[in-house]
Structure 1
Amino acid sequence: MSRPLADHVEIMRLQPTRLPDFTPARRLAPRPVEARDADYDARFDAETLFYDAFVGTRGRIVLVGPPFLNLKGDLEATTITALPSEANCRFEVRELDRHGQIHVEAPDGTRSLRLSGPLGTAEVAIRPSEVDIFAGRRVLFTQSRNNDIAWIRDWVRFSRDIHGADAVLIYDNNSDRYSPEDLAEALGEIAGIAAIRVVDWPYKFGPQGIDARRYWDSDFGQHGVWEHARRRFLEAAASVQGSDVDEFILTPSGRSIFEAVEAEPFGVLRYEGRWVIGIEGRDPPPGKAGRRHCDYTVTRRERPVKRLGILTVDADRCPPKWTLVPSRIPDRAQWKIHSIGGHLPSRWMTKDFSYRHFREISDSWKYERMGREAFDTARHEVDQLLADHIAAVRWDV
């Protein structure tokens, strides 16, 4: 039995609205049959209508879910009634990239919404806004499944000591190696963090694309996390860093990325990454239990190539990640994993920050990441900037 959590730590559980509970209709897969692998149907979320429903910060109730796709027309033809007032509500259906939302104008005191229409009738419970928890905070935010708790703790410590993070929001997506309670208890022991929320996110991650570019159309879960976090928790945060547990943001100038983005007029910084790798014959051995970020400091050197015969880019670069100020992102722009959709200023890439992507801080859930390379001075280098950052972190506090 877990011990009581510290006062600044809480586990959040959601109340989904599922299609099988009130209608025979299902979300239809957008991917052509010939492009689906054997596991596609099992991993596709055909049944979740809404992940959650809650009071937003703009005077509306927000219902967030996977994209509505074939269900959109039926939802637009639905009548939404506020309860207990029985007031009929105006609403807007928003279909975003791999994500759907309904924004409802409802009277104060609304406890639930009744949806009646072509799909049938469902009552949706409304949760309170939680933006006050993170108001004015510098928040470290991610989604995780089965990452070692030690890795997650080190990820928090790094951002705390290097950038001044003082709050953590993490969505646990069906981890089966530990419980949300285990994770919350472990995070609560880290010094210097004022607010921690672990969201139990039980939904399907969704099928990945075929390769880097084709058929990225069905991985709904993470897109849902990013917008749910934004609208239920983070809209009043001072700034938010979106990254994975295997990523550290480096600052050559020593300036906090939170401080830097808070000074940006458009409120967003995007930056590319480099892989940090394991080397043949060096400790820790591939896959060794207990390995940590601080065990690795070798990166691949940049490999410049020409794109379109004009642009020179690093062929080994990792896709961009971002840190942003929520209040400066337009309401209709979409928080996504590598970009801010519909927000032109966020397309600019800064060179003042970059991140390091630790290949062996992983359980290889997506693909095998334990392959080693022989050290080659023409191809590899000890990343002194990374080593200096690692030396500045209090890893056991």
Structure 2
Amino acid sequence: MMEAALLDAESSAAALPAGTRREPRMPQRRRDQAFLDAFDATGMVYDCFWHADGRRVLLVGPPPVNLVADYYLARFTALPSGNAVTRRFHSSLSVMITELIDVPTGSTAIAIRFGRETIELPIRANLSAQLAGARILFGMNRNNDLRWIGEWARFHQRLHGTDTIVLYDNGSTDYAVEAVVETLRAVPGLAHVAVPVWRQPFGRTDTAVRLNPYWAHFPQIASMSAVLRRYGAQATGILNADIDELVAPPDGRSIYAVASGLRHGLAVFRGRWIEAVPLTDAAADHRGYGVSLTDAKRARSRPNKWALDPRRGWVANLKVHPYWHWIAGRPMFSKITPDGAHYWHFRGINTNWKRSSDPVPRELLAPDADLAAAFARAAS
């Protein structure tokens, strides 16, 4: 069996100059220490890479928030030529793309003059041409059980034809990143694997604001723009699913093909909770769980997930920013839920943070026949 090829996953990151800090939205409101500890107040750039057109360079990072004036005063220079380059900012609530225009061919780094400091960032390669036509699955990982990661990858490869996985590692401590790489490369049918390491603070839900309280999860949201722009600009499809989520094949079809068949190339779908009730004492991965609440309303996992055909013209606009559960800047009326499209959301997976605190009475549960059938198909 051929192992999947390992893609270049090196990133170029930079912190804000000493003494410069990003503040939360509405900074006058009180936050608990847990939020402040997890908030990325010092990150400036998470990655720097060529645009797929080979003429521009993109910097992906957190939003400026209170630092808008500082970013506009920053100066960007291509190295080794020393040519000053024009910049445009494309910012949303949780991420900003800095677009550098007409960067000279052969440039190897970008120098950023920010305040009194100058920071140099190597320009990383764009892999979109190498991955033209790929079916990409991506997510972010921190200390998830390697068996769960392996089953997540196998399921989507077998039922959807996933051939490329980009799994960002947010500073796992239970194992080395090489263990994640080996787990993914061993999955039959995968052609390419990338495991970029982003150690920036992950962020927490902001209870001080009501509108979009998940806004401060900067690394995860920014990684979505990096996947789209650095790896997937010419892919057949991109699918976002966390390790505790398995996407159902609508009527047996690949979700990538379903999305490509839609007018705007965007499929969105909700989920169904699979309860943290193991089928056997030896439950080791997703296949060890398989029951959901008989009450369909209570069993529903409401957040949307999505699959996208990135080759559509509207996606090229850098004001389009993928998020966890939606895509900012998408065209009106582009959000379509195809018949049969949904995902299974496993409470007993993903370091158990979604595990219910109270045991669910057995009489309220029933086997999920669709999930069992999907597992059987994936094993055939």
TM-score past 0.5 threshold: yes
- For these two proteins, the number of residue pairs brought into alignment is 372
**Distance verdict in 2 for CA 1:37–1:260, change over 3 Å:** same
Instruction: Give the equivalent residue in structure 1 for 2:219.
Output: 221
- Alignment counterpart, residue 54 of structure 1, candidates 49, 58, 65: 49
For residues 107 and 265 of structure 1, the distance between their equivalents in structure 2, rounded to whole angstroms, comes to 37
User: 1:94-113 alignment to 2 at 5 Å?
Assistant: 94-105=90-101, 106-113=103-110
For residues 280 and 299 of structure 2, the distance between their equivalents in structure 1, rounded to whole angstroms, comes to 27
User: 1:97 Cα shift?
Assistant: 2.0
- Does the aligned pair in 2 maintain the 1:27–1:69 contact within 8 Å? yes
2:352 is equivalent to residue 352 of structure 1:
no
Instruction: Give the equivalent residue in structure 1 for 2:13.
Output: 16
Q: Percent identity?
A: 28
Instruction: Give the equivalent residue in structure 2 for 1:301.
Output: 294
SS in 2 for 1:132: coil
Instruction: Give the equivalent residue in structure 2 for 1:75.
Output: 71
Instruction: Give the equivalent residue in structure 2 for 1:264.
Output: 262
Instruction: Give the equivalent residue in structure 2 for 1:394.
Output: 379
Instruction: Give the equivalent residue in structure 1 for 2:86.
Output: 90
Instruction: Give the equivalent residue in structure 2 for 1:166.
Output: 163
2:34 is equivalent to residue 39 of structure 1:
yes
TM-superposition CA deviations, 1:292-339 (whole Å, max 9, x none): 2112221123445xxxxxxxxx78333110011112224221111101
Which amino acid in 1 is paired with 2:195?
A: V
Instruction: Give the equivalent residue in structure 1 for 2:310.
Output: 326
For residues 199 and 66 of structure 2, the distance between their equivalents in structure 1, rounded to whole angstroms, comes to 23
Instruction: Give the equivalent residue in structure 1 for 2:350.
Output: 362
**Distance verdict in 2 for CA 1:297–1:315, change over 3 Å:** closer
TM-superposition CA deviations, 1:331-373 (whole Å, max 9, x none): 22111110111213343333331111011012134x5446431
**Distance verdict in 2 for CA 1:11–1:257, change over 3 Å:** same
- Does the aligned pair in 1 maintain the 2:29–2:208 contact within 8 Å? no
- TM-score norm. by structure 2 comes to 0.90
**Distance verdict in 2 for CA 1:349–1:382, change over 3 Å:** same
User: 1:184 Cα shift?
Assistant: 0.5
User: 1:130-149 alignment to 2 at 5 Å?
Assistant: 130-149=127-146
**Distance verdict in 2 for CA 1:117–1:177, change over 3 Å:** closer
User: 1:188 Cα shift?
Assistant: 1.3
**What are the ranges of 5 or more consecutive residues in structure 2 without an aligned counterpart?**
none
**What are the ranges of 5 or more consecutive residues in structure 1 without an aligned counterpart?**
305-313
For residues 62 and 255 of structure 1, the distance between their equivalents in structure 2, rounded to whole angstroms, comes to 35
- Does the aligned pair in 1 maintain the 2:236–2:310 contact within 8 Å? yes
**Distance verdict in 2 for CA 1:278–1:247, change over 3 Å:** same
For residues 12 and 32 of structure 1, the distance between their equivalents in structure 2, rounded to whole angstroms, comes to 35
Which amino acid in 2 is paired with 1:122?
A: I
- TM-score norm. by structure 1 comes to 0.87
Q: Which moved more, 1:347-356 or 1:96-105?
A: 347-356
For residues 216 and 360 of structure 1, the distance between their equivalents in structure 2, rounded to whole angstroms, comes to 22
TM-superposition CA deviations, 1:209-253 (whole Å, max 9, x none): 329955333221211111111111111111011001111111351
